[in-house]
Chain A
């Protein structure tokens, strides 16, 4: 009897604990339900269109694998297969932008991390102001700078470097310059966060053990900063894959990224093809994300970041 009572009570206590967890889980319910309705379901339904619009089958993916794409593209001078070519351009731009932001961002983060916090915070404002400024405003600024009558051309012609204004806007170069500008803060912020967290006494210990400054950097600081490098590269690469506004405004006819192609297909009412392209892009982005987080163990990717 006593044993039965004890077991019943143990069950009651276990129930109490479970109820506490259920209560916490319920806090998630509104957000999860909202996201399922306004994000999860619409995206899933759209992706489904890739195989059932206008009819069940793989016809929407065929343009991607056939040698010649028959759907009329408003993309000039693209050799066949146009779709594959667009994916290639996207990949190339995303990789280039990632490498460039790392190259430019690492020394900045390093310098900021080596300054006293008050000075570093002040300089960090210079990173944050563009970060908080609308992409449209920044794209507009680049149009002003790079245009035929733009500041840079005026300067180049003025000093006699160029006889006549150069074509700077609507080029691949403009796309790079604009995208690097937008994505650089996404590289600097995680790098800086990781570098600030590096214990300075480790560097002093390395010096004390006889390492020259360059050796301290190579063997102690650099390895410790790699988590920031991984997080920054992943963030920039994934965001770059989905870029739309900057290439659309600064790029030329040949600088078509996947997002723009999807948008084109939607406006041409090829919803099935648009969905198929979206699916391929999504699978690609998620695969990269999973690979980075699982293999490299990148964590807290989005601490204070903004897409």
Chain B
């Protein structure tokens, strides 16, 4: 049973149904910095970021990239060293966390172990001095919303990881926060449950309209869920854009390697014609690619191409095509595809993936092959 299905049943049954999360607020980071140890360690290094009202934005990056620290400053558990954070135009960096009205789902869920599910969810409402009847009704409605009707009397430890996650979500939504923060909320769950909850949270976001700032190090999760993704590294935002933009037009080698798998071919920029660059790759020859950044002729550059965009030459016919000779070094079956690693003339390796269907020829280790890719699928970074 998905959350949306649960909500529909509720709306048919009760008249008291209400939406949670109110109207989402816009969030702005303005030159935010966080330093520790007298400035020796820079966790967040001048982050500026505009998040639209109702947007689902993911901060994606490896551990230590500053994504969680950024989230903690937005929640109020860390004070910036410099800069300001705005929610709907109001500066909040100096506001204590309990006055921010920002919901949060913690990585460990942080459900109060001495309280039942009902008491956990009622906690923010009681602090806001809501009437008893309203507390009970909201608790019931939000549990229906997350697909756990009737769980009020259970203790957190009696619940599975996925159920605890839903309770944490319910508790973060029940007091109609302007913004919902999620800090790797699915990190502790197994793969199947994680994938189901990704879709449920995304559906919930579309239904409620609350602004969500989501932190994860899982690029797949970020691609599936987000309206936009901000890729962070070493305290800075490397690139921000829609999942499709980040995947197809990575602005840097870091982004290209962190999101999805990429091949990197180093060479020298030979010339630039009609928006295409010609790169001389040692031992391979000239290859064409679309220009990604600003480069001058003669620069050392790196061309990138995704493994699934590379095909064996026997399958290719187009003219706008890079074709190179290579030797197959390894073949690995990965379920939905075969993953080949092939060595090019100059010693650089490339990886390509090919779906296996009936009638597609197999290649074996040591075989000489021709591989190629559409010129538009290669990019300079």
Chain A residues engaging chain B, CB cutoff 8 angstroms: 6, 9-10, 12-14, 16-17, 20
In Å, the complex CA distance between A6 and B82 comes to 7
Most chain B CB atoms below 10 A, which of A9, A12, A20: A9
Contact residues of B between 231 and 274, Cβ < 8 Å to A: none
In the complex, B84 has a CB within 8 A of chain A: yes
In the complex, B290 has a CB within 8 A of chain A: no
Dominant SS at the A interface?
Answer: helix
A-B contact count (CB 8 A): 20
Whether B81 pairs with A13 at a CB distance below 8 angstroms is: yes
By a CB distance below 8 angstroms, the chain A residues around B83 are 6, 9
Chain B residues engaging chain A, CB cutoff 8 angstroms: 31, 79-84, 93-94
In Å, the complex CA distance between A66 and B263 comes to 86
Whether A6 pairs with B31 at a CB distance below 8 angstroms is: yes
In Å, the complex CA distance between A192 and B378 comes to 64
Dominant SS at the B interface?
Answer: loop
Whether B94 pairs with A10 at a CB distance below 8 angstroms is: no
By a CB distance below 8 angstroms, the chain B residues around A12 are 94
* Minimum distance in angstroms from B226 CB to a CB of chain A: 29
Whether B94 pairs with A16 at a CB distance below 8 angstroms is: yes
Add 17 more A-B contacts to A6-B31, A17-B79 (CB < 8 A).
A6-B82, A6-B83, A9-B82, A9-B83, A9-B84, A10-B81, A10-B82, A12-B94, A13-B79, A13-B80, A13-B81, A13-B82, A13-B93, A13-B94, A14-B81, A16-B79, A20-B79
Q: Sorted from nearest, which 8 A-B pairs have the closest CB atoms?
A: A10-B82, A13-B79, A16-B79, A17-B79, A13-B80, A16-B94, A6-B82, A10-B81
* Minimum distance in angstroms from B41 CB to a CB of chain A: 15
By a CB distance below 8 angstroms, the chain B residues around A16 are 79, 94
In Å, the complex CA distance between A20 and B77 comes to 11
In Å, the complex CA distance between A6 and B94 comes to 14
In Å, the complex CA distance between A17 and B82 comes to 12
* Minimum distance in angstroms from A5 CB to a CB of chain B: 10
In the complex, 20 of the A-B residue pairs with CB atoms within 8 angstroms, ordered by the A residue number, are: A6-B31, A6-B82, A6-B83, A9-B82, A9-B83, A9-B84, A10-B81, A10-B82, A12-B94, A13-B79, A13-B80, A13-B81, A13-B82, A13-B93, A13-B94, A14-B81, A16-B79, A16-B94, A17-B79, A20-B79
By a CB distance below 8 angstroms, the chain B residues around A10 are 81-82
